[in-house]
DNA sequence: AACTTTTGTTTAATCGATTAACCATTATTA
DNA sequence: TAATAATGGTTAATCGATTAAACAAAAGTT
């Protein structure tokens, strides 16, 4: 039930020491060190410490017009990909003396707009955004604002702004090429029905790999799952494919979530991977450990993605320019795609 | 390569409309509505909109001494328990017009102290903290500061401060009572070796349930895993117990992580759950779906935890007082603990 | 001795919004 | 009609830190 204690300000220290606030400010910020007597500096520092002084960042920000804060908006914080990404971004930002404040748009357009506004109101120095679906107009509006930003993981190809993303096309093509090299010709694709560019690039990579190998595209082997309630869709998609007269020998899942749900179903049905069907997917999670076969998958360079996005943003803040980065995925080959 | 545009301020609007900044402020904050002519108010609002004005929260905060921001420090954002918790806290805070800025201490003492400092420097109105191990001194110091805070999930019983946590003792006791009711008498415990009060309460609940049933405690059935690198420890603990001449008929895992790793091992060894060994654990994750038997577990009321913590904090901010809340866990009974 | 530098510090404006107190007008009332 | 109240607004101080510019005193230079 203690009364609210007032925080110590520069003024308090100045009074205590018997100098002006200006001097205190100079000392505590290590400015004009040549012009300040050692003893006074020492005294100021020690009283600041004694009085437990901490800079009021709000006041500093108002004057300097900098907050040393980056805003991070991820699409879904409950997705391990994003929580890892957030962590790397935080670390990289901290190394450059920035704090990250972050929030999740939960793949929701309205929430995304709110968050952008909240962050702008708080005068963040810059934004890192993994944009939710259909938020292109929001990003376009952001371009007209004063605040630097970088997209990450997802982007809009016709929007000229900075971003860091996986080269999804080449990653997916690599994955499917691998399946082809392993002797599979009937290769199914399970992906989301979406306007997301990055997801559709995965499909394009799949198609490209088939075409270059001269394998005809079979529409029955391509299934697009509704994002709203994917679980039953995935089950049905896999079931349908397995029931085809010419069933695929291999499946490419375009996201980890699709893969997990697909595997759960395959296991329920007692279908042996890779003997009856070979599998390649995206990303790793601790869940994969629970299936008996170690998965072949595309590993995204999450750390690098976070680091680059942060670095580019900070560069942007200090000196305006845009930069687009495509990072390569790495195909990690494991049992799930290799038949002996 | 556009030049940084200056943001629109109250002054700009005032000049445009030809009134004082005070008036603009009153209008935009809906204050003194009775004393302001409708037309002027309308004009101010429309020009504000036209000029795309957004309040500079930094300036407002400096004057009002409020940031409308809560700081949330979780122990490990990659843990789904915490990412869910974060989400509920965010929602609840948003409903009360607070923004949450959050960060993860990664169970690291030093990082925790840094984050507390960073948040205090930014003048958050209050803090919600899931404290890392050995951070009691930090929390004690926080008590002496001006900033209200609430602990969540974890707390220090000898520290008189607000917190919201599960009643871990009773939850664990309930779980073990259930195993006893199901006819098990040889019940093993796999837990962490830690100074965390909440984890040790789970052990106490286990002991209490055995005692009240008159079952003697067997130290060989209690294993404490090193938190630093748990996976091999868990494996060994389970293996050792299974190798005992009188092996337990049931196992109580005190955290979800222990449960997952334990199950992986049991599956590898081809041990049937619950026929050969009954299992009860803590928390649910999507991973549980991947084991064939639906788990019996203690469900924590995460939403309520987040909501209450937020509500109590905001109350704290507005009118100082402390409050301790213990929430009950709910035992969800499933196949993993029921032998037919 | 008169002038210039250097040294150590202070003054005061500023960032943008808030808000108590004040000031004109224009009704209203006695 | 004079005093009072209501109406619609403005003035100016303030939050706490930053920083260019000014200033006084001491030290150096010619």
Which SS3 state, helix, strand or coil, does residue A52 take? coil
pLDDT at A3: 46
Phi, psi of A55 (to 5 degrees): -55, 135
Query: Taking a C-beta distance cutoff of 8 angstroms, is the pair B65, A5 a contact?
Result: no
Name the nucleotide nearest B17; use CA and C1'. D9
Can you give the distance from the CA of residue A18 to the C1' of nucleotide C3 in angstroms? 33
Pick the CATH number of A67-166+302-328 from 1.10.940.10, 3.40.50.1450, 3.40.50.2300, 3.40.50.720: 3.40.50.2300
- Residues whose CB falls within 8 Å of the CB of residue A306, separated by 6 or more in sequence, listed in order: A84, A85, A86, A87, A88, A89, A91, A92, A152
Cis amide leading into B274 (omega within 30) = yes
pLDDT band (50, 70, 90) for residue B2: very low
Assess if CATH 3.40.50.2300 describes domain A168-301+332-337: yes
Q: What is the pLDDT of residues B218-231, one digit of tens each?
A: 999 999 999 999 99
- Mean pLDDT over all residues of chain B? 95
Q: What is the pLDDT of residues A254-271, one digit of tens each?
A: 999 999 999 999 999 999
B1 pLDDT higher than 80: no
pLDDT at B3: 46
Query: Taking a C-beta distance cutoff of 8 angstroms, is the pair A121, A141 a contact?
Result: no
Contact A104 B87 (CB under 8 A): yes
CA gap B96, B76 in Å, rounded: 25
- Residues whose CB falls within 8 Å of the CB of residue A168, separated by 6 or more in sequence, listed in order: A198, A199, A201, A202, A205, A329
pLDDT band (50, 70, 90) for residue B333: very high
pLDDT at B4: 54
Assess if CATH 3.30.980 describes domain B10-55: no
pLDDT at B286: 80
Portions of chain B given CATH number 3.40.50.2300 = 66-166+302-327, 168-301+332-337
Q: What is the pLDDT of residues B301-317, one digit of tens each?
A: 999 999 999 999 999 99
CA gap B303, B312 in Å, rounded: 14
B205 pLDDT higher than 70: yes
Mean pLDDT of B274-285: 96
CA gap A290, B292 in Å, rounded: 11
Which residue, B163, B179, B132, B188, is CA-closest to B298?
Answer: B179
Name the nucleotide nearest B66; use CA and C1'. D15
The answer to whether the pTM exceeds 0.75 is yes
Total count of residues recorded for chain B: 340
pLDDT, averaged in runs of 10, over chain A (340 residues): 70 97 98 95 98 96 96 91 92 92 91 94 96 98 92 97 98 98 98 98 98 97 96 97 96 97 94 97 88 94 98 91 96 95
pLDDT at A255: 97
Can you give the distance from the CA of residue A42 to the C1' of nucleotide D17 in angstroms? 20
Portions of chain A given CATH number 1.10.260 = 10-55
Among B2, B7, B287, beta carbon nearest to A286 = B287
Burial class (CB in 10 A: 0-12, 13-18, 19+), A185: middle
Mean pLDDT of B20-46: 96
pLDDT at A4: 53
Contact B58 A58 (CB under 8 A): yes
Q: What share of chain B is helix, strand, coil (3-state, %, to 5)?
A: 50, 15, 35
Count of other CB atoms within 10 angstroms of residue B80:
18
Q: What is the pLDDT of residues A90-123, one digit of tens each?
A: 999 999 999 888 888 999 999 999 999 999 999 9
Portions of chain A given CATH number 3.40.50.2300 = 67-166+302-328, 168-301+332-337
pLDDT at A103: 86
pLDDT at B287: 81
Q: What is the pLDDT of residues B227-252, one digit of tens each?
A: 999 999 999 999 999 999 999 999 99
Query: Taking a C-beta distance cutoff of 8 angstroms, is the pair B67, B36 a contact?
Result: no
Which residue, A333, A332, A329, A331, is CA-closest to A304?
Answer: A329
CA gap B21, B38 in Å, rounded: 17
Task: Give CATH for domain B66-166+302-327.
Answer: 3.40.50.2300
Among B58, B121, B291, beta carbon nearest to A54 = B121
Task: List chain D nucleotides near protein: any atom < 7 Å from a Cβ.
Answer: 7-12, 14-21
Residues with CB under 7 A from strand C: A 18-23, 26, 32, 34-37, 40, 59, 62-63, 65; B 6-7, 9-11, 21-22, 25-26, 28-29, 31, 53, 55-56, 59-60, 62-64
pLDDT band (50, 70, 90) for residue B6: confident
Can you give the distance from the CA of residue A66 to the C1' of nucleotide C16 in angstroms? 14
């Amino acid at each position: 039930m203690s009364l609210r204690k007032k925080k110590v300000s520069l003024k308090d220290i100045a009074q205590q020491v018997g100098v002006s606030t200006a001097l205190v400010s100079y000392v505590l910020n290590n400015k004009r060190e040549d012009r300040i007597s050692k003893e006074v500096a020492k005294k100021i520092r020690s009283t600041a410490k004694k009085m437990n002084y901490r800079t009021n960042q709000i006041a500093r920000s108002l004057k300097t017009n900098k907050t040393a804060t980056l805003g991070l908006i991820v699409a879904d914080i409950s997705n391990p990909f994003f929580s890892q990404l957030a962590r790397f971004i935080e670390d990289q930002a901290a190394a450059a003396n920035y704090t990250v404040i972050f929030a999740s748009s939960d793949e929701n357009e309205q929430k995304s707009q709110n968050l952008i506004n909240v962050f702008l109101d708080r005068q963040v120095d810059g934004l890192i955004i993994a944009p939710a679906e259909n938020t292109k107009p929001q990003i376009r509006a952001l371009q007209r604002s004063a605040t630097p930003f970088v997209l990450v993981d997802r982007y809009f190809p016709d929007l000229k702004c900075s971003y860091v993303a996986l080269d999804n096309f080449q990653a997916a093509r690599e994955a499917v090429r691998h399946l082809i090299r392993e002797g599979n010709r009937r290769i199914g694709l399970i992906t989301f029905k979406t306007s997301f560019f990055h997801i559709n690039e995965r499909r394009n990579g799949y198609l490209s790999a088939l075409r270059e190998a001269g394998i005809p595209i079979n529409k029955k082997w391509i299934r697009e799952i509704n994002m709203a309630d994917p679980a039953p869709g995935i089950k049905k998609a896999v079931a349908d494919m397995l029931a085809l007269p010419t069933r695929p020998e291999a499946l490419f899942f375009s996201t980890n979530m699709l893969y997990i749900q697909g595997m759960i179903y395959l296991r329920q049905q007692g279908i042996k991977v890779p003997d009856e069907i070979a599998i390649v997917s995206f990303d790793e999670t601790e869940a994969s450990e629970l299936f008996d076969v170690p998965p072949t998958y595309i590993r995204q360079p999450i750390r690098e993605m976070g680091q680059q996005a942060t670095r580019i943003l900070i560069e942007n803040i200090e000196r305006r320019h845009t930069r687009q980065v495509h990072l390569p995925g790495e195909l990690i080959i494991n049992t799930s795609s290799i038949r002996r």
